[in-house]
Structure 1
Amino acid sequence: MMYPPEYLVMIPGPTNVPYRVMQAMLAPIINHRSDDFRVLHRSLQEKLKHVFQTENDVVVLTSSGTGAVEASVVNLVRKGDKVLIPVNGEFSERLARMIELAGGEAIKVKAPYGSIPSYEQVKEAYENNKNIKALYVVYNETSTGTRITWLDRVKDMLARDDSYFVVDAVSNLGGDDLPVDRWGVDICVTASQKCLAAPPGVAPLSLSKRAVKFMKDNPPNTLYLNLPRYLKYYEENAETPFTPALSLYFALHEALTIIEEEGLDARIKRHKECAKVFYDSLAKMGFEHFAEPSCRSHTVIALKYPDGLEDKRFRSTLANEFKVLVAGGFGELKGKVWRIGCMGEVNGYHVKRTLSSITSTLEMLNAKVKATTTPSLN
């Protein structure tokens, strides 16, 4: 079999995976109905609670992040439920569609791509609509490189209807501030292949006690994504109801161990510092940032193409000549925007190699580029 060359993967997920984590997948296969698995499972739960900053239950699905987001919807939203959702990109549009497919009424608070709905706009929509079942928020909109900046203010607002607070943190948990319990988040969703720096295929969710009670009292119409079923198996035997992706469990466990060794606060600080260097350096090169300064993501850098620089040629040259992968835009932003994933194990080496490769690519393509010096990073 022919394997592709090793790239520096600077897309918004999957991202670079540390060697230790890749090696962990070589552990022997074990019986998922055994004491060996139960030890792994319990340890994984505790490490995930640390990253979520929660004492709540955590469920781990063998799925993409999208599968876990859909699980949050089908387990909570029922026909006729009103669900408030800020919409400012492809992933929040997709989440609103999931809510509608589940029979809910998605009350959208829209903002132009590259910006976010303000807290005041969301609060006004909440006050103008009675009996809101839940507020769903895509914390970090991967398609536009924006992040919602007011999540710490939501808890008190939702007290009127005792509404649920659900956060899609697929592309920034572990790389941005998100104290689940302190911010009153009922369901928080993430995925292994982003800031956690593990291979794709595993998606954890944290569930508050009141969210769990609702799901148990109102069982969802699904089998594989039935979250109370997972909790039942966890409580009875520390097992999963279906066969888990064992190798990915071992990998995620090792990735979470690395996070503990670094320290969660230090990890979040590193993501922010690397993002700042990307933003500052690319602006000096002459690139215009897509996201507004007040709501720029710490984990996904989105940039506009200047006139004369063609998307496919730029990204393919960067990949073929320098083995650095960046992402294009999609949906209505296809060909207009390109994106850098600043997540996972990203550090000074990744930033400097990416920036120097971009500079060389622009020179090869005879594009205008300004010389810039990358600040010192560890």
Structure 2
Amino acid sequence: MFTDKLILRIPGPTPIPPRVQLAMSQPMIGHRSGKFSALFARTAERLKPYFGTTQDVYILAGSGTSALETGVVNTLQPGDEAAVLISGAFGERFAKICERYGVIAHRLEVPWGEAVTPELVEAFLKEKPQVKAVFATYCETSTGVQNPIAELAKTIRTHSDALFIVDAVSCLGAVACEMDAWGVDIVVTGSQKAFMLPTGLAFLAASERAWKVIEANKPLAFYLDLKAYRKSLADQTTPYTPAVSLIFGLAEVLDILDEEGLPAIIKRHELMRDMTRAAMRALNVNLMAEDAYAAATVTSCDPQGAFDAEALRKVLTKQYNITIAGGQQHMKGKIFRIGHMGYCEPLDVLQVISAIEMSLHQIGAPVELGAGVKAAQEVLIAHV
């Protein structure tokens, strides 16, 4: 086994295409040069279709969490009230950011593995008519749930004047996002998931309605002040030092995505999801999310005591150089999560499923070798 041939199948960071790695190795250029300004402006413009917006997309040097925080500090003030829709670990992060800045966060929580439904949101907003923003997670990485953002947006617009702010960190670029058509006010994401880059870039787009609020607010942060980014983007630059090499890589990523086309990208991720879920069912492994709300980018599996999830992960890593993710918070050590996004295709899914079958056999779990692979193959063949 080649020890340097690592196979990463976690829900981020994801593998980086070789041509993107090569693009990032270009010689450094001045971040205030005309060459960089032209590249930066062109690259920011090319992000718009993946957000489903005609609004500007802002690029920050920071992780996905910096984008979440940007969404909070530019739209709310201390003492304001917000509704936070929580279906896992990352919804809770939005609530913690709100509270750090003195915002009153009203939590609407559902059990891990369930989605937030429009009916729940409607009832919650009737109880909390004073909220100024509603925060939601599009793909809840900790559970493999993909919340129905389009339906939630419609409900929020119907029953509230609150802004709708969405964390799409672990799915944008792999799933449909129609920010303008759906009526979402702010969408944020990061570079290390479906955008196939290292951690270090955050992206954000805001609606005209959101901008009216942002312009009227006193910014709570310096580095994350969106008004500064808006002013700088008009001059084809950033207010603070950009991550130049990552922008080189992002331009190459957008070439790759544009070559495949967003409709095909979405279908590929749905296919990999369906293959993975069919395989796990064939292996009698419980899936955390219902089919209707299953994420296209990550599948969470709960053995429910049938075998040790951590033992499975250890064998995968030691014997096959394959890394899958474990559980978070109260699910730590209990579940495992398979990432299938970005630089990943159906044959990669067959590889990881085959290795999971062998690892299950090695840890003594009841498994029929080939059952999961066969189920996944049948999904793939039907698609082809």
Residue in structure 2 matching 1:274, options 272, 284, 292:
272
Matched position secondary structure for 1:326: strand
Name the residue aligned to 2:92: 93
Change (3 A) 1:305 1:148: same
Structure 2 Cα separation of the partners of residues 34 and 60 of structure 1? 17
Q: Does residue 195 in structure 1 map to residue 199 in structure 2?
A: no
Name the residue aligned to 1:290: 288
Q: CA deviation at 1:126?
A: 1.0
Q: CA deviation at 1:152?
A: 3.4
Name stretches of at least 5 consecutive residues in structure 1 with no aligned partner.
none
Name the residue aligned to 2:8: 9
Structure 2 Cα separation of the partners of residues 156 and 317 of structure 1? 45
Superposed CA deviations along residues 49-73 of structure 1, whole A, max 9, x for unmatched, are 1211111121111111011101111
Structure 2 Cα separation of the partners of residues 153 and 331 of structure 1? 26
Moved more, 213-222 or 58-67: 213-222
Name the residue aligned to 1:67: 66
Q: CA deviation at 1:156?
A: 5.7
Name stretches of at least 5 consecutive residues in structure 2 with no aligned partner.
none
Name the residue aligned to 1:350: 348
Q: Is the 8 A contact 1:119 1:150 kept in 2?
A: no
Q: Is the 8 A contact 2:118 2:151 kept in 1?
A: no
Q: Does residue 249 in structure 1 map to residue 241 in structure 2?
A: no
Structure 2 Cα separation of the partners of residues 367 and 297 of structure 1? 26
User: Counterparts of 1:130-279 in structure 2 under 5 Å?
Assistant: 130-155=129-154, 157-159=156-158, 161-235=160-234, 237-279=235-277
Matched position secondary structure for 2:338: strand
Q: Partner amino acid for 1:311?
A: A
Q: Partner amino acid for 2:293?
A: C
Q: Partner amino acid for 1:117?
A: V
**TM-score, normalising length: structure 2:** 0.93
Q: Is the 8 A contact 2:78 2:101 kept in 1?
A: yes
Name the residue aligned to 2:30: 31
Name the residue aligned to 2:367: 369
Matched position secondary structure for 1:358: helix
Q: Partner amino acid for 2:278?
A: D
Moved more, 331-340 or 221-230: 221-230
Name the residue aligned to 1:81: 80
Structure 1 Cα separation of the partners of residues 292 and 286 of structure 2? 15
Name the residue aligned to 2:47: 48
Structure 2 Cα separation of the partners of residues 287 and 328 of structure 1? 15
Q: Which has the higher helix share?
A: 2
Change (3 A) 1:308 1:164: closer
Name the residue aligned to 1:309: 307
Name the residue aligned to 1:128: 127
**TM-score, normalising length: structure 1:** 0.95
Matched position secondary structure for 2:190: coil
Q: Partner amino acid for 2:345?
A: N
Matched position secondary structure for 1:190: strand
Structure 2 Cα separation of the partners of residues 130 and 362 of structure 1? 50
Structure 2 Cα separation of the partners of residues 262 and 293 of structure 1? 26
Structure 2 Cα separation of the partners of residues 115 and 65 of structure 1? 23
Name the residue aligned to 2:318: 320
Q: How much is the aligned-residue C-alpha RMSD, in angstroms?
A: 1.7
Q: CA deviation at 1:348?
A: 1.6
Q: CA deviation at 1:306?
A: 4.8
Superposed CA deviations along residues 253-308 of structure 1, whole A, max 9, x for unmatched, are 11111111100111011100110000001110121112233322111100012536
Q: Is the 8 A contact 1:141 1:147 kept in 2?
A: yes
Q: Partner amino acid for 2:240?
A: F
Q: Partner amino acid for 2:137?
A: V
